Amino acid sequence: MLRNMTPAQCRAARALLDLTQPALAEASQLGLSTIVDFERSRRAVSSDAVDAIRAALEAAGVEFIPENGGGAGVRMRERKGDSRKRD
């Protein structure tokens, strides 16, 4: 079982990936209404659905950052062998 993910983290992860809600619904094998309702906090979605959303985002390259005093967040996972210089 995966750890929780907030609606804000979901929106941020999609933005990093330039991924639409319909594409995320397809990748997570969920209905579009589930994605929309979760991101807008319209209703509580099941933990299984949140796990499926998070797994799809992680498979696409997002890493979730736990709350560590600075707040929970997301970032792109570093690719192995990525030799680009970082500023």
86: tokens are: 């970082």
Q: What's the Cα-to-Cα distance from 57 to each of 11, 70, 84, 86, rounded to whole Å?
A: 10, 22, 23, 23
pLDDT digit string, tens, across residues 15-67: 999 999 999 999 999 999 999 999 999 999 999 999 999 999 999 999 988 77
Second-level CATH architecture of 7-76? Orthogonal Bundle (1.10)
pLDDT digit string, tens, across residues 41-52: 999 999 999 999
pLDDT digit string, tens, across residues 66-81: 777 677 788 898 876 5
Angle at Cα 11 formed by Cα 9 and Cα 17, nearest 5°? 100
Looking at residue 86, what is its pLDDT?
45
